[in-house]
Amino acid sequence: MSATHNAAPEPHIASARGAVDLSAAAQSSAGSSQYDAAASVPHSPAVSGRWRVAVNEASFQQVLQLSNQVPVVISFGTPRHPGSAELDALLARLVDGYEGRVVLATVDADANQNILQAFRLQQVPAVVAVLGGRPVPLFQGAPAEAEIKSLLDELMTLALQNGITGTVPPVSAEEPSAAPKNPLHAAADEAMASGDYEGAVTHYNKALAEKPNDLEAQQGLKSAELLHRVSSMDANAVRAEGAQSPDSLDAQLAVADLDVAGGHVEDAFRRIISFIATHFDDERESARERLVDLFTVVGASDPRVSAARQKLARTLY
């Protein structure tokens, strides 16, 4: 990376693509010259690690402010993607190695669509950095650890060139007191984190047997079932089969599963609704049932689900 000499340097790593300018969003906080840990670090019950914090739309402005002091690495993921949790754990370990000279912010892309759109990201997992309120794209997917470490080292050099050389105290990992978690939910979470999706399905089914209206278990069950289906897929082969067999129910549902797991929610919904529009009887009902399952995975409050429900209703009636 070469030093930047313009009056208002644009952060850039040679391998980065598609940068967007968030400087306007950060403008209100750019004048702050002193770091205040209590005011600048977004605190959340979901934090873990020494310099890792969960971020949502309400705390995003604080992340932009914090980026005037240290680089902020933002990891966009989804609990529906098998690799998101593993990537965040790797990033947290690498970021902790810089001992406060960089902070990791994790974002649930499903629940924070406005942040995702601000960075013009089309798929997750994806990782970007923010320096002085400006984005620096890093990578999509899950590169090897050595490649990630190299990119972080480049980021630190870029921060030095732009005068962003602060250090922040560790983010506390202590969680506030909360209601005890359902042991079956906890067991399912552990199974999901370890990639044991069949085990997670078993635990969620037990939770639903005890409490049929357990919304968290309903969503968790459908997410575990989705991840179990896609975990053994060859994505390239599945997509090729989907393109070659537009009238195959199994082929179209498999591609839709991959799309939802990869964050391409609207593509998945559109694919299944198009299939429903041109097929009938048992195939139509099977496609509808899978679509409803995917609605549960994404969440009833998601506007993409609301829009797809309306399209489905028009298709069916």
Taking the model in full, what pTM does it have?
0.51
The mean pLDDT values, 10 residues at a time, for the chain of 317 residues are 36 36 37 32 42 87 87 90 84 89 91 87 89 90 88 91 84 50 88 88 95 89 93 93 97 94 89 96 96 90 86 91
**Dihedral, 289, 293, 298, 304 alpha carbons, nearest 10:** 10
**C-alpha to C-alpha distance for 244 and 110, rounded to whole angstroms:** 30
The pLDDT value given to residue 172: 46
Cβ-contact 258, 230 below 8 angstroms: yes
What is the predicted pLDDT for the residue at 179? 56
CA dist., res. 111 & res. 308, Å (int)? 17
Rg (CA), the chain: 21
Domains (ranges, CATH) in the chain? 23-161 (3.40.30.10), 183-316 (no CATH)
